[in-house]
Amino acid sequence: MKNLKSLILPAAIILIGAGAALATNVAKNSDSNSQTGYYIDSSTGECRQSPEMCSTTPGDLCTWDDGSSIHSLFQADTECTVSLYKPVN
């Protein structure tokens, strides 16, 4: 019985610690203000979706490089008028 306690107790403590560390890391990496950025297509003037994730939390402006130009990114609406920001890590 003594050997069983000395084996199970440390294993349980390690598992609890690993679970807590994982939960903390997930909480830090998720930005509740995170959303897909949209850019103005220069050829059509339309608001189009980009692959970049941005934030509504003020900071540096969120941009996306499509290989030929750098686009400022906006919230999804019909006119691309509300700026988005780089996610805070």
Whole-number Å distance between alpha carbons of 86 and 23? 23
Whole-number Å distance between alpha carbons of 9 and 13? 6
Same domain, 6 and 17: yes
Average pLDDT over residues 9-23: 66
Same domain, 53 and 81: yes
The total of structural domains in the chain comes to: 2
Q: Model confidence over 30-87: pLDDT tens digits?
A: 557 899 999 999 899 899 999 999 999 999 999 999 999 999 999 987 689 999 999 9
* pTM score of the predicted model: 0.62
H or E segment and range at residue 38 = strand 34-40
C-alpha neighbours within 13 Å on the C-beta side of residue 80? 17
Please determine, for residue 28, whether its predicted confidence score (pLDDT) is greater than 70.
no
Q: Give me the domain span that covers residue 60.
A: 32-89
Q: Are 40 and 71 in contact (CB under 8 A)?
A: yes
Give 89's contacts (C-beta < 8 A, 6+ positions apart): 29
Q: What is the pLDDT of residue 32?
A: 73
